[in-house]
Amino acid sequence: MDPDDSSLNPPLPPPPSTGSVSRPSSSSTHIAVDMHSTPEENLYAAAQAMREGIMRGTSRSKSRAKDKGKAAATTTTATTSPPPSASASSIAHPTTAASSSSSSSSSSTSSTTNSQPASNPASEAAAAVPEGGEGGGTPPFTFDKDMARYPASMTSSVRDHVYEGGLRYHAYRAGKYAFPNDEVEQNRDDMKHTMTLMLCRGAYFYAPVEGVLEEGGEVLDLGTGTGIWAMELGDKYPNTTITGIDLSPIQPTFVPENVHFFVDDFEEEWVDPEDKYDFIHLRHTLHSVQDPPALLDRAICHLKPGGYFEAQELAVQPQADDDTLTPETPYALRDYINYMAAGMRILGSNVHAIGDLPEQMRAAGFQDVRKTTHKCPVGVWPRDKRLRFCGLFLRTALMDGLRGLSRRPLTALGWTPLQIEIFLVEVRKAIMEAGVHAYLVLHVVHGRKPVG
């Protein structure tokens, strides 16, 4: 159901083609449909147990570390290297040395398929949750809503927020990122993290950098969000220093001592020395990058020879392996994405940028550019339990985020708040439609800076 003022919303062309979609690593090229659906309340209960298991394990790890060094927990982290841009502001955190977990397997993969790590930490955590166990799912960190823990040297433009239509946005470089940074968006960020780990069978990255990180390297996480990927990587590789960059100061209070966060715009010039980083990581953020070629130029300049850049991003083009979704099928979620793409173009970015990334990386000088894809269902229709969990997280992230995601891009098209809300009624119905076996495709693209 389109908004009632059609003059504001002319028919949009289809989104730009990203080429043929590579098949994900799977024993089948199609996702099998579950003919005898598990009650969704059971899936939600299992998902909650999984998340609580992860939280409980992290809490115990941090508690043990805290007992070993209570004095360190009252001090601030000393940052020994400058942030990537001259305008960056550091965030000081009390430090806790979290115990490292087992190393994940990395995978150097082709554009079609390859073997993936056999274990999934999220699934293992769910299986390890004792019935009625202690801990009660206490979160391993909390967000400081009043921003009191940030240093006084931070200017108000960094620490404050902008509010529009009941939604909260970052104040530093206000308007640069189109989506909110409030608690709903932070929860969505963590859901997408869990979903991505499950899709990748526990692998935090596919670039072959695990050996370097075990010995001790430098990692830069662009658009770190809540910092969950950076912190978990810091736990896994205690000898490596991880730096997270984001426009919003929404990272947690207690972090591993080898993890540092900065509030900054990574699309501005970096002041870091060249050849500094072993690995630069970007996840679920490329859709908002206004100049991907310029970012790739900066990345290859600041990577060490032989270092890797990796991006993980969902290609937001709903597909199906059967006839429940064809190009002719009316599907409000697909219409919504097309409108969002048009709005984001007005705001300066391309939501389909991941399709162009491999060629752009080669043009920037990266070698051994590889792409791996994984299908992520929209909903709980697959037979495979792991994919059902992934679909549950994706569907929930979409449903929870519709209002916040829509406001700025659709307003840029001239839509009124009422038009947006009317349209979202149909979009929600499409997302919850179990009879449509839709999925999005996660692209993982990595490449190496030449050694010579």
The fold of the 40-448 domain, in CATH, is Rossmann fold (3.40.50)
pLDDT digits (tens, 9 = 90+) for 302-323: 999 999 999 999 999 999 999 9
Q: Please indicate whether residue 110 or residue 167 has the higher confidence score (pLDDT).
A: 167
Instruction: Evaluate if residue 446 carries a pLDDT over 60.
Output: yes
CB 206 within 8 A of CB 177: no
Measured CA distances, 434 to 33, 41, 318, 425, 430 (Å): 11, 15, 14, 16, 9
Rounded distance, CA 59 to CA 174, Å? 34
Mean of pLDDT values over 339-355: 93
| CB contact at 8 A, 437 and 320 | yes
Residue 30 confidence (pLDDT) above 60: yes
Identify the band that residue 235 occupies on the pLDDT scale cut at 50, 70 and 90. Answer: very high
Cα 344 to chain centroid, rounded = 18
Q: Average pLDDT for residues 276-303, to the nearest whole number?
A: 94
Tokens 């692998």, residue located? 203
287-310 mean pLDDT:
95
pLDDT band of residue 187 (cuts 50, 70, 90) is confident
pLDDT of residue 159: 55
Pairing of strands 303-319, 167-170: unpaired
Instruction: Return the amino acid letter for 276.
Output: K
Q: For residue range 378-404, what is the model confidence (pLDDT) as tens digits? A: 999 999 999 999 999 999 999 988 988
Task: Say what the pLDDT of residue 265 is.
Answer: 78
For the chain, percent of residues with pLDDT exceeding 70: 61
Checking if the pLDDT of 62 tops 60, the result is no
| Per-residue model confidence as pLDDT tens digits over 89-109 | 443 333 333 333 333 333 333
pLDDT reported for residue 290? 87
Instruction: Give the residue with greater pLDDT, 255 vs 37.
Output: 255
Q: How many helices (H) and strands (E) does the chain have?
A: 11, 10
pLDDT at 338 over 70: yes
pLDDT number for residue 36:
57
pLDDT at 365: 97
**Predicted confidence band of residue 74 (pLDDT cuts 50, 70, 90):** very low
Q: pLDDT for 189-209, tens place per residue?
A: 889 999 999 999 999 999 999
Query: Does position 87 have pLDDT exceeding 50, yes or no?
Result: no
The predicted structure's pLDDT at residue 362: 98
Can you give the pLDDT at residue 143? 29
How high is the pLDDT of residue 135?
Answer: 34
The whole-number pLDDT of residue 155 equals 45
Give backbone dihedrals phi and psi of 448, rounded to 5 degrees, phi first. -110, 140
**Confidence at 179, pLDDT banded by 50, 70, 90:** low
Give Cβ neighbours of residue 378 (< 8 Å, ≥ 6 apart).
318, 333, 391, 394, 395, 398, 431, 436, 438, 439, 440
Q: What is the mean pLDDT of residues 255-262?
A: 90
149 or 225: which leads in pLDDT: 225
- Nearest to residue 445, comparing CAs of 386, 348, 374? 374
Q: What is the pLDDT of residue 403?
A: 87
Contact 368, 448 (CB under 8 A): yes
Question: Dihedral of CA 26/31/35/39: which sign?
Answer: positive
- 84-88, 181-185, 235-239: segment of lowest average pLDDT: 84-88
pLDDT at 37 over 80: no
Residue 161 phi/psi, 5-degree rounding, is -130, 165
Question: How far, in Å, CA of 438 to CA of 273, rounded?
Answer: 45
Phi, psi of 441 (to 5 degrees): -115, 125
| 3-state secondary structure at position 314 | strand
Which residue type occupies 109? T
Residue pLDDT, tens place only, 125-148: 333 333 333 333 333 323 233 334
Q: What percent of the chain has pLDDT over 90?
A: 48
CA distances from 240 to 62, 100, 219, 410 (A): 18, 11, 7, 41
